[in-house]
Amino acid sequence: MLIPRSLSVLALMLALNVSASLADTHPQPNAARSDAEPETDQMIVRFKPNANILGVDRVLTQLSGSQVDRLRYVRTTEQDSDVFKWERRKSRKQMENLTQWLKSQPEVEYAEPDYIMTTMTLPNDSELAYQWSLLDTVTGIRAEPAWDLSTGAGSVVAVIDTGYRPHADLVANLLPGYDLISTTSVAVDGNGRDADASDPGDYYAAGECGGTTARKSSWHGTHVAGTIAAVANNGIGVAGVAYNAKVVPVRVLGKCGGYTSDIADGMLWAVGNTVSGTTVNRNPAKVLNLSLGGQNACGTTTQNAINAARAKGATVVVAAGNNNADAVSFSPANCAGVITVAATARDGGKAAYSNYGANVDVAAPGGSSYNGAAEGILSTLNSGLQQPEADSYAFYQGTSMATPHVAGIAALMYSVYPTITPDQVESALKSTARAFPATCTSCGVGLVDAEAAVNAALVLKQNDPYFALRADWSANKTLWASKQIRNYTYVLEQQIGTGSVQRYKFTVQNGSVTSGVNLATNRTLTSTQRKSVGKTIDQLFTLVDQALNAKYSTIQASYDAILGYPTNLYFDPKSTVTGDQSSYKASALTPF
């Protein structure tokens, strides 16, 4: 309270003394007990500077509770709020009800539970002790302190790989994926592309894939996905780097590998682009993990897919390769716009197999199982040698294992700053990477640090004046997309610069303006006029996106609460220039 502190304390003590005798006639609001676990026994309340003492008395009288659970004044904080304590702890629901009631009182400026905090404990997964790559403060990624800041909630990572097995330690974090393998001999599931991204196995016999030896099924995509987002705190197995993130499995690798054309389509599908013959991904990923590659140049097909993913705001993380060679000769590690990841061994130095070179950006733990299985990377797997059998866990090594560590950190970053850009993700990962604890020549700028990277994302968010605008834009665009309205009419009012206001009614079919009427003259627009002034709702979203990307000096936008489409937009590229502003108002939208 902002009245003199001595007077404040006296008033509160008097009020509480009175309240004890009036407890039976002034019952506590919302006093029914909940079965939920008690959370705290204290409340922080700040009364308004001009609050009447009698009004404060009334509030505290009703708040005090029964004779067996009396309220007492504890202290006045340095922020001039007052702390009160009951004799018994209350459940979270009770405290929420009390807080809501307090906020409704005219004498109260704010109120909040004085919750009890504890030290953050590690997940209770049974094999967590073997996950040195996450927890070791010298050679790991330092995930534990990062989890105090983010666990990946809200982030979606596409694992573009061999598909998935519904492992008990992973399945809760899986979203619907897609099988993009177009060749049945590679797919080995009896058909071509379909909506089933489950992994039937990628084993092959000697001579089948150009080699002289056979290979058992790898369940590679399941292992990679587990490193990123294995379920934590379920008492079994392992924990993922971003254990509250979701994984969209995109199957592009089968027997003998996978074709570049399928992998490129997999990237496009993962970020929500249309791929012929498939259904649209309703959970577009902001992080793409490609633990795959081949010894060739970065082709136009691959580069175009990467560019398209980045245009959707997605970060593409790729493996450097396992040939102990310069990564410049391996794709997609040598493509532009990707984060190329080298692998470190248990000691934090370069893993013997890892590729290296000038195009490597950072390094992450990839394991060194040749020194003992436990020096590898433990993750989810399947026990089947050919076809799927039981859930299992296994230690693997490779830049394929290093890459999901970085993808997981990126998911942590997107979780705290959803509109962070791919360039910002890469820059933050590089700027916060720490020095290698052992020799790792040409392994990028350093060993990734999860805590430091997430903190960097938080700083970027804090310094981004467009963050709220981007978040609002993204949420409403997602809402509009979820309605899948492709055929509709609506009225658009627009003003460009200092010109007169124009009003049109447009008809949109299959996402294109098919007709329009000038409402001032009631004349039908010609095709040329439609091309000039016609706009779909999606194009209005594009206008907002362009303004945000160009960082206009003024951006104002409001959206329809039910459908999410922009209803009132105002843009001013430069506040110093007169007549460069534009405004748009959408109304009367009617689907048909």
Angstrom distance (rounded) from CA 450 to CA 362 = 12
Alpha helices, DSSP H, located in 47-195: 53-63, 92-103, 132-135, 143-147, 184-187
Class of residue 520 by CB neighbours under 10 A (exposed 0-12, middle 13-18, buried 19+): exposed
- Active site residue: 64, 331, 400, 415, which one? 400
Cβ 335 vs Cβ 367: under 8 Å: no
| Two tokens, residue 207 | 């001579």
| Main-chain phi, psi angles of 407, to 5 degrees | -60, -40
What percent helix, strand, coil does the chain show, rounded to 5?
Answer: 30, 25, 45
Reply yes or no on whether 220 is catalytic: yes
Identify which of 470, 497, 474, 491 has the alpha carbon closest to the alpha carbon of residue 537: 491
Annotated active-site residue 442? The verdict is: no
Q: Could you say which of 57, 82, 161, 262 is catalytic?
A: 161
**How many secondary structure helices (H) and strands (E) does the chain include?**
15, 20
User: How many Cα atoms within 13 Å fall on the side-chain side of residue 429?
Assistant: 34
Q: Which two tokens stand for residue 17?
A: 């003394």
Fill in the DSSP letter of residue 294. B
Q: Angle CA(418)–CA(316)–CA(253) in degrees, nearest 5?
A: 125
Tokens of 260: 């570049």
Which of 462, 319, 335, 302 lies closest to 403 in space, CA to CA? 319
d(CA 336, CA 306): 8
Tokens for 374, please give them.
Answer: 């436990």
For residue 508, list its beta bridge partners: 488, 513
CB-CB contact of 411 with 287 (8 Å): yes
Residue 161 is a catalytic residue: yes
**Integer Cα distance of 347 and 344 in angstroms:** 8
- 93-113 exposure pattern, b = at least 16 Cβ within 10 A, e = fewer: ebbebbbebbeebebbeebeb
φ and ψ at residue 347, rounded to 5 degrees: -85, 0
- Quick check: bond before 166 cis, omega within 30? no
Residue 161: which of 289, 309, 33 has the closest Cα?
289
Q: Which of 179, 199, 220, 262 is catalytic?
A: 220
Q: Edge-to-edge strand order for the sheet containing 82-91?
A: 71-76, 82-91, 38-47, 108-113
In 3-state terms, what secondary structure has residue 572?
strand
What amino acid positions are annotated as catalytic residues? 161, 220, 400
